[in-house]
Chain A
C-alpha cells in the first residue's frame, strides 16, 4: 500500500493529461524512472516461479527441434490471430474478412492477414493466361503479359488500403462489441512493389481528352470502377509484389492496381483492363454502392480519399486490464491525404488530451503506430484517440460525423472510437453520453455486404 502510493507520486510528475496519461517519452527516460516503471509494470508468473521445472528445464531443450520448412507458418500457439470472415450464404465468395488489428503490433500487415473484400470469390489465375489491356483514348492500344510487366522499372511504396465500408458498424445506433480489428480491420498496410502507371500510360500515349480510367478485374464479378487520370498519373501503380513476395491470390494475384490513400474498391485486384476515357463509366460500384446517402436525400459520389482515422488497438474491446497499473496505450492512425502529424489520446472521456509518441518512420498514406504510457487508477473511464493529418484535418467525434452525414452513408466512417474501461478492467465500446440513441429494433448496417 505504502509502495503504491510512492509510485503514484513519482508518476504524477510525468502526467501530461487527466486520469493518468503520462509523458510519451516516459518509456525512453533514463535513471530513477526505470525503477518506478519496473515496480508498477504488470508482473507475470515467471519471475516468481522456482518450483515449476518445465520453465527452467523445458522439454524442447532435450530433443532435436523441427526441421527446416520451405514456407514458414505462425506458431501453433498463435492460432487465434486470424482474419474474421463474413460471407454471403448463397455466394460465399461475396463478403469481407477483417484483419485482427487488436492482436497485432507494428504497422505492416502480414500477407496472410491482409483484409479481404471480394464480390464473387478469389479467382485462381494462371499468370501465363493473364493479360493487361490498355485501350481507349490512347495513341496505341497495347497488351502486356505478366512476364513483360516483371521486366519494367518498379517502385515500392508502403501504404494502407482501407475498404470504404470499414468500421461501418459505427453508423449503427448501438455500439458494436466486436474486437477492434473485427470492427475496424477492413484496413491493412503493406509494402507494394510494381510498375508506375505513368510509365505504361506514357507508352500507350494519352490523347487530349483523356480524363478517367476504367479499371476492370478478372474475377467472377468482373469488378469495374472509374479513377481520375490525374491520380493515375500522380502515384498509382500496378503492383506485382506485396511485402516482398508475389501478391497473394486473395489480394489480386498476379496484378493489382494500387491507388495510394484512396478507398479500397479503387485498388482493383486481378487487374486485366484499363480503358482510358473522357468520363466515368458509372459502374454499379460507383453509383448504387460506394456512394453515401446523406440526410438531405442526396448522395456523395466519388469520395475517393480516406479521411484521417485512428484507433486504439490496445487496450480495446474484450481485453481485460489486470488491476491498477502502468499500461501502454497503443494503436494505429492513417490518412489518405498524407502523413499523420499528431495523435492525441484522452483517458478521461475527452476532457483532456495528451500527445502520443508516433513510431518512426511516419510515412505518407501508411499506418502510423502511436503509443502512450498510462497509469490506470482502477476507476471506470473512457479512452479515446484522435488523429490529425498533415493537412490539418482532425478526426471527428461520432456525434459530429453523424450530425453532418446522417447514419445511412454506409461508407467512410472515420469517427473517434471510445473504449470504456470498467472497474474490473473490462474494456467495451461505448458512444458518447450525449449520443446514447435509444432504440429497440435497429437494423445493423454492417450486416449488409453485397
Chain B
C-alpha cells in the first residue's frame, strides 16, 4: 500500500468514526438534495416575461403611436414630461438635442438605447411605477410605438407587434463596447 492510499484510508476511517459518510462529505461540494419540483410549460410561459432583442418573449397584441399618445398623456407624462422630455422625477426619453460626445450628452431612447425590445420589456414589467403591471400587452405595444415615434424612429401610424418590434433598428445599436467579452478573450 502506498503512503497516499494509507492516508486516504485513515481519513475515511476518521470520517466514519465521527459520523460523516465520506461519500456525502465529497458530494457536499456539488450536489444538493434535489428538492426542486417540476413545473408545467404553461406555468413557465405565464411567469417568464423576459423579452429578448430577437423578439423571443414578445406576446400577442399590437399598438400604434396614435393610441400610445393618449395613454402616455394619462399614465406617463407626470414623470416623463411632455413629449418625453423628462422631469425632476422621471428620465428624459426623447428629444435629445446634444449628442453623446457633447459636454452634456442627452441619453434618450433615440440617442442611446440599443434595442427597441427593451422598451417593451421594461414598460410591461416596471411601468408606470405607481401601478406596475397594470397595462395590457396592447397598451404596452402602443406606448412602445409612441416612444419610438417621439424619437423619430417609426412613423405615427406604424403598428408594433411581436414580429415588427424586433425589426426596428435603433440608431445607437452599435454604440456599445462589450467589456466582459474583451476581458474574456484576455483571460
Determine if A199 and B32 form an interchain contact, defined as CB atoms under 8 angstroms apart: yes
One of A13-21, A136-144, A393-401, A413-421 at the interface: A136-144
**Residue of B51, B117, B126 most packed against chain A (CB within 10 A):** B126
Chain A residue numbers with a CB within 8 Å of B90 are 90, 450
Determine if A134 and B36 form an interchain contact, defined as CB atoms under 8 angstroms apart: yes
SS class, residues of chain B in contact with chain A: loop
One of B8-16, B64-72, B104-112, B135-143 at the interface: B104-112
User: Considering only CB atoms and an 8 Å cut-off, how many residues of chain B contact the other chain?
Assistant: 53
Q: How far is the CB of B151 from chain A (nearest CB, A)?
A: 13
Q: CB-nearest residue of chain B relative to A222?
A: B125
> In this assembly, does B178 line the interface, its C-beta being within 8 Å of a C-beta of chain A?
yes
Interface string of A111-138 (1 = CB under 8 A from B): 0000000011000000000000111000
State A221–B131 Cα separation when bound (angstroms).
10
Q: CB-nearest residue of chain B relative to A195?
A: B32
Chain A residue numbers with a CB within 8 Å of B99 are 297
State A202–B33 Cα separation when bound (angstroms).
11
> In this assembly, does A443 line the interface, its C-beta being within 8 Å of a C-beta of chain B?
yes
One of A29-37, A147-155, A356-364 at the interface: A147-155
Q: Give the bracket for the number of chain A residues in contact with chain B.
A: 35 or more
Chain B residue numbers with a CB within 8 Å of A275 are 48, 50
> Within residues 274 to 295 of chain A, which ones have a CB less than 8 A from any CB in chain B?
275, 277, 279, 281-284, 287-288, 291, 293-295
SS class, residues of chain A in contact with chain B: loop
State A448–B99 Cα separation when bound (angstroms).
19
Chain B residue numbers with a CB within 8 Å of A195 are 32
Q: How far is the CB of A430 from chain B (nearest CB, A)?
A: 23
Q: How far is the CB of A206 from chain B (nearest CB, A)?
A: 13
**Residue of A135, A141, A195, A294 most packed against chain B (CB within 10 A):** A141
Determine if A91 and B48 form an interchain contact, defined as CB atoms under 8 angstroms apart: no
> Within residues 64 to 115 of chain A, which ones have a CB less than 8 A from any CB in chain B?
88-91, 94
Interface string of B36-49 (1 = CB under 8 A from A): 11110000100111
Q: How far is the CB of B136 from chain A (nearest CB, A)?
A: 16
Chain A residue numbers with a CB within 8 Å of B31 are 199, 202-203
Interface string of B173-187 (1 = CB under 8 A from A): 001111111000000
Determine if B107 and A89 form an interchain contact, defined as CB atoms under 8 angstroms apart: no
Known interface pairs A216-B50, A224-B125, A295-B101; A304-B180 also in contact (CB < 8 Å):
yes
Determine if A144 and B35 form an interchain contact, defined as CB atoms under 8 angstroms apart: yes
Q: CB-nearest residue of chain A relative to B128?
A: A91
Residue from A120, A133, A277, A288 in contact with B112 in the complex, judged by beta carbons closer than 8 Å? A288
Determine if B175 and A90 form an interchain contact, defined as CB atoms under 8 angstroms apart: no
> In this assembly, does A302 line the interface, its C-beta being within 8 Å of a C-beta of chain B?
yes
Chain A residue numbers with a CB within 8 Å of B177 are 294, 298-301
Determine if A282 and B104 form an interchain contact, defined as CB atoms under 8 angstroms apart: no
Determine if B48 and A273 form an interchain contact, defined as CB atoms under 8 angstroms apart: yes
Q: How far is the CB of A224 from chain B (nearest CB, A)?
A: 6
Chain B residue numbers with a CB within 8 Å of A148 are 35-36
State A281–B90 Cα separation when bound (angstroms).
24
Determine if A144 and B100 form an interchain contact, defined as CB atoms under 8 angstroms apart: no
State A60–B105 Cα separation when bound (angstroms).
61
State A378–B177 Cα separation when bound (angstroms).
48
Q: CB-nearest residue of chain A relative to B88?
A: A89
> Within residues 20 to 46 of chain A, which ones have a CB less than 8 A from any CB in chain B?
none
Determine if B129 and A94 form an interchain contact, defined as CB atoms under 8 angstroms apart: yes
> In this assembly, does A214 line the interface, its C-beta being within 8 Å of a C-beta of chain B?
yes
Chain A residue numbers with a CB within 8 Å of B48 are 135, 273, 275
Q: How far is the CB of B84 from chain A (nearest CB, A)?
A: 13
Determine if A287 and B114 form an interchain contact, defined as CB atoms under 8 angstroms apart: yes
> In this assembly, does A200 line the interface, its C-beta being within 8 Å of a C-beta of chain B?
yes
Determine if B118 and A90 form an interchain contact, defined as CB atoms under 8 angstroms apart: no
> In this assembly, does B96 line the interface, its C-beta being within 8 Å of a C-beta of chain A?
no
Q: CB-nearest residue of chain B relative to A443?
A: B104
Known interface pairs A142-B38, A199-B31, A301-B179; A284-B112 also in contact (CB < 8 Å):
no
Determine if B39 and A135 form an interchain contact, defined as CB atoms under 8 angstroms apart: yes
Q: How far is the CB of A305 from chain B (nearest CB, A)?
A: 8
Determine if A221 and B126 form an interchain contact, defined as CB atoms under 8 angstroms apart: yes
Q: How far is the CB of A335 from chain B (nearest CB, A)?
A: 15
Which 6 pairs show the lowest CB-CB distances between chains A and B?
Answer: A142-B36, A302-B180, A148-B35, A222-B125, A284-B122, A297-B100
Given A144-B36, A281-B121, A299-B177: 10 more A-B contacts, CB < 8 Å: A141-B39, A220-B129, A221-B129, A273-B47, A275-B48, A281-B51, A281-B52, A287-B114, A303-B180, A408-B105
CB<8 Å pairs between A and B, sample of 9: A149-B35, A202-B32, A222-B49, A224-B50, A282-B53, A282-B118, A284-B122, A293-B100, A448-B91
Binding site for A on B (CB under 8 A): 28, 30-39, 44, 47-53, 78-79, 88-91, 99-101, 104-105, 107, 109, 112-115, 117-118, 121-122, 125-126, 129-130, 132-133, 175-181
